[in-house]
Structures are given as structure tokens and as C-alpha cells.
Amino acid sequence: MYLAHITPALVARPSVPKASLGVLLLASLAIDVLSGVLGIFGVEYTGEVPFYPWSHGLLMAGVFTVVIIIIALIVSRDLRTSAVIGAVYFSHWILDFISHPMGFGTPMEPDLPLAFGNSTRIGLGLYNYVIPALVTEFGLFAFGIIYYLTRTRALDRTGKWAFWTVPALLVVGITPMAISSDLAFVSTLFGLLLLPLGIWIDRHRTHQIGQEVP
């Protein structure tokens, strides 16, 4: 799954005024960003037999979720905001569990490890099938966009189009991610770019109708 990973962030943003859209977007893709960073240093790798227990393993996804909630709580001093950020982070693993392995027409063996080493690998494998994969990916992606836009409003002219830079960036990013020999670097770069984009968008859209963004 790729585009649909940001849907939880878009759905969560209107309900948590203390959480930046940029933070939520980064949280929704943080597992892939972490995998990219670890891939750059050779700790993890993707391929026919991927090895990514630190980023995509269930055990560490749970551990990092708790760490993120604690950090968010220290910064925001708001339990609800912190819990939502943590939930958005963990939503990535849940969506991966549904979609992985991603054979797109070529059935593959489960690839999400429960822990480390030779631990059991799991995954429902929805994305082994092309049509279900496309319907799920673009359906969730469209739902997130519609939900966000119908529950926020632009504060100025920039706010009317600024949000569209996010889906545009993700759609444009599909091509280099598909053809690049350095997938780790590309996925990390595109994930990190969403942080400043989201912060910028927040300055031009209100996420509580009838109220100004602080």
C-alpha cells in the first residue's frame, strides 16, 4: 500500500487541533521512512525476500507506537492528541498487514515479521491481486481527500490549492519509486517532504469550521 497510507492522517486531522497536519502525515508514513533510513545504512533491505523487522515487524511497530505517544505527550501535553498520533503511526502497519505481500498479480509469501530473525511472517495478501489492490488503494485515498476537504476550509487563496500539493507529491513519487534502484532513498525523501508541506498547509486552512488556526 502506498497512497492510502495517508488516509488515517487526513481523517484524524480535523479532530485534533493540537496536531499539525505535517506531523500526522509523517506519522502515517514513518514506518516506510524508517525502513528507508535503515535501508540506506544496510540494516534492512527490500527485494524478493525483504528483511525489515525494525520498521515493519509487529513487535517493533508496537514499541515505536508507545515511544511516539510518549514523545507526543511530552510535546503536546494532551493525551488525546498523543494517542491519535500514535494510532496514525500504527495504522501503517495495520494497512500493510492487510495489503502485504504485494505481488500485484504474482502471489507471494507473507513478508511482515512478528519480531526478528526467523520469526513467523504474516500478511493477508490483498495486494497479491491487481483489481482488489487498485480498488482499495485509490478508494481509501479518495475517501481521505474527500473527508479532509469537507471538514476543513481555506483561510485564503493559497489554502484553496495548497492541500493538493500532498496528493500530487505522492502520485509523482510513484514513478521514481517504481524505477529507482535506490528505493530506500527515494521513499525516505518523499516521506520527509510531507512534514513541511503539512505545516505550510495548516497555515492556510482551518481545521475546525468557523474557527481560526492558531
Model confidence pLDDT, tens digit, residues 77-121: 999 999 999 999 999 999 999 999 988 888 889 999 999 988 999
- Judge whether 2 and 174 are in contact, CB under 8 Å: yes
**Which residues have C-beta within 8 Å of that of residue 204, sequence separation ≥ 6?**
154, 155, 156, 158, 159, 162
Show the cell assigned to 23.
506531523
Q: Indicate the burial class of 48 (C-beta count within 10 angstroms; 0-12, 13-18, 19 or more).
A: exposed
- Specify if 213 maps to a domain: no
Query: How many domains does the structure of the chain reveal?
Result: 1
Q: Indicate the burial class of 59 (C-beta count within 10 angstroms; 0-12, 13-18, 19 or more).
A: middle
Show the cell assigned to 123.
500478511
- Specify if 47 maps to a domain: yes
Q: 37: domain range?
A: 3-206
- DSSP state letter for 209: T
- Specify if 212 maps to a domain: no
pTM listed for this prediction = 0.91
Average pLDDT, the chain: 88
- Specify if 211 maps to a domain: no
Residue whose cell numbers read 528505493: 183
Q: What are 2-19's pLDDT values in tens digits?
A: 889 999 999 999 989 899
- Specify if 32 maps to a domain: yes
